Chains A and B, each alone.
Chain A
Amino acid sequence: MKTFYTSVIELRQEFDDAIETHPYECGWADEALFFVEVHDAEPGETVSLRVQLSPDGIRWLDEGTEIRTGSSAFARVTRFGGFLRLAGNAIAADGGPARVTVSVRLALKG
């Protein structure tokens, strides 16, 4: 039977413009699913997030998958090596920076 674990990596975490989720080690997993939830967003407010990989949890590279949402969204990732995070920004309706509250859950299986 496979191992499964969901980590609530960010719970109702406030971010001021720039968003970086906690570096998460998951080399044991074959597949990952990021669930992103934006809490109480103002109309037109969104988060734009890139899935990132890392050889060491310190230096990060874009994986290619992106999420843009003002409510809830998910992204599937495979073949990601040992570390995962999301990085990006919170964007107000006028295109400027925003302050948002976000929850991020990472569902891992392998």
Chain B
Amino acid sequence: MHVSGFFDPLPRVLVADDFDRGMSGWLDLRPNFVAPGFREHSDDIDLIHWGPTMLSSATFAFGGTHGSAQGTYSLKISSRAAAAAADLPPAPGSMGLAIKRLAVPPGLRRLRIEALFAYKAEQDRPGLGVDDVRAFGMFVDLQDAEHRYMPGVRYVNAIAGEPVRAWQFYSPTADTDDEWSYGADGWHKAGIDPQWFGRRKADGSTSATTWFDGGGQHLIYNESDDKLNWTPLSLTLDLRTRRYEEFRVGGRTLRFPDGAHPTLAPAYNDIEGLLNPVFFVEADTDRRVSLFLDSVVISADAGEAA
């Protein structure tokens, strides 16, 4: 694809996904169906009913087809019409998540994930649905020889219908493995899958999130549920130190505290070297919400990896 000026990739572009050319390897994030009868490997929370991912032309009842930032199609990640209170585990179907599964090539030092995004509540009723979108975000599932870790950012848009409009990042949790997965058997290690695990609070924080200092931001939802403004997002990570380097969104650069990093969990079996970016959206009410992406560019530069 032609990488537009919205993107500022590092020298080595690993993938540049323009969704006018198909799903490009993005699909629904689902659990491991390895239990008897092809059941999911654990049932601590319902992970099998999230909303499906699709290629969208962003077509609406009154505005017609919005199209994408470049072309017609974008990747649309959708929740179902469900939500639990912010201090409870996510309700079945209250999120939508799309993942792409890659592996780290040799010699990488830094990794950058960039996208143009827009977020919307379904235009299924009159009025403005902005405060029916609880949150959206992205993270990368990474594992090296020692640790599995999931650096990422989350925009908490609204809680219980009240605007929050602030960014947080995934940070180390003090939860035990059992606390992390809401008292279940602890198959999951604390810090892994922070998008749905980790004790939650009513303000939208979790046991593995830290609010950015000065991280309040009024993103462009626009004034109607059928108007999209493609907004750039860029997260840069240092793979040698497993630390955050930089987060840009819209016209702003948000600063991480010195040395900030996500939970460094023990390595899991058979996934060393994985590089799995994930984008997600969360509903705040019983209304479908969507995150649109066009395009996604993953780039890197060289150096001695950790």
- Spell out A's residues near B (CB within 8 Å): 3, 5, 7-9, 11-13, 22-28, 55-59, 82-83
Contacts of B73 in A (CB 8 A): 28
B48 near A58 with CB under 8 A, answer no
Q: Which of A7, A12, A57 contacts B59 (CB 8 A)?
A: A57
Please provide the 5 A-B residue pairs with the shortest distance between their CB atoms, ordered closest to farther.
A56-B61, A3-B22, A25-B56, A25-B54, A7-B52
Decide: A24 near B54, CB < 8 A? Known: A56-B59, A58-B61, A58-B122: yes
B124 near A12 with CB under 8 A, answer no
Contacts of B22 in A (CB 8 A): 3, 5
B49 near A11 with CB under 8 A, answer yes
In Å, the complex CA distance between A11 and B38 comes to: 12
Contacts of B78 in A (CB 8 A): 22
In Å, the complex CA distance between A18 and B55 comes to: 27
How many inter-chain residue pairs (CB < 8 Å) link A and B? 56
Contacts of A7 in B (CB 8 A): 28, 52-54
A8 near B57 with CB under 8 A, answer no
B30 near A5 with CB under 8 A, answer no
A26 near B55 with CB under 8 A, answer yes
> Which of B30, B53, B59, B123 is the most central at the interface, judged by chain A CB atoms within 10 Å of its CB?
B59
Q: Which of B53, B55, B80 contacts A28 (CB 8 A)?
A: B55
Contacts of B21 in A (CB 8 A): 3
Distance of B292 from chain A, by nearest CB (Å): 11
Given contacts A11-B30, A25-B54, A58-B122, list 6 more A-B pairs with CB under 8 A: A5-B23, A11-B48, A13-B49, A28-B57, A28-B72, A58-B61
B52 near A24 with CB under 8 A, answer yes
Contacts of A11 in B (CB 8 A): 30, 48-49
In Å, the complex CA distance between A11 and B49 comes to: 7
A25 near B28 with CB under 8 A, answer no
A5 near B55 with CB under 8 A, answer yes
Task: List CB contacts (< 8 Å) of B71-116 with chain A.
Answer: 72-73, 76, 78, 80
Asked if B262 CB lies within 8 Å of chain A CBs, one says no
Distance of A71 from chain B, by nearest CB (Å): 17
A12 near B48 with CB under 8 A, answer yes
Task: List CB contacts (< 8 Å) of B27-70 with chain A.
Answer: 28, 30, 48-49, 51-57, 59-61
Q: Which of B30, B49, B80, B122 contacts A57 (CB 8 A)?
A: B122
Nearest CB to that of B38 among chain A residues?
A12
In Å, the complex CA distance between A70 and B150 comes to: 43
Contacts of A13 in B (CB 8 A): 49
Nearest CB to that of B124 among chain A residues?
A58
Nearest CB to that of B19 among chain A residues?
A28
Decide: A22 near B55, CB < 8 A? Known: A5-B22, A8-B28: no
In Å, the complex CA distance between A56 and B288 comes to: 14
In Å, the complex CA distance between A25 and B51 comes to: 12
Contacts of A59 in B (CB 8 A): 61
> Which of A24, A27, A55, A83 is the most central at the interface, judged by chain B CB atoms within 10 Å of its CB?
A27
In Å, the complex CA distance between A103 and B28 comes to: 15
Contacts of A28 in B (CB 8 A): 55, 57, 72-73
24 contacts between A and B (CB under 8 A): A3-B23, A5-B22, A5-B23, A5-B55, A7-B28, A7-B52, A8-B52, A11-B49, A22-B51, A22-B52, A24-B54, A25-B57, A25-B76, A26-B54, A27-B57, A28-B57, A55-B59, A56-B59, A56-B60, A57-B122, A58-B122, A59-B61, A82-B57, A83-B59
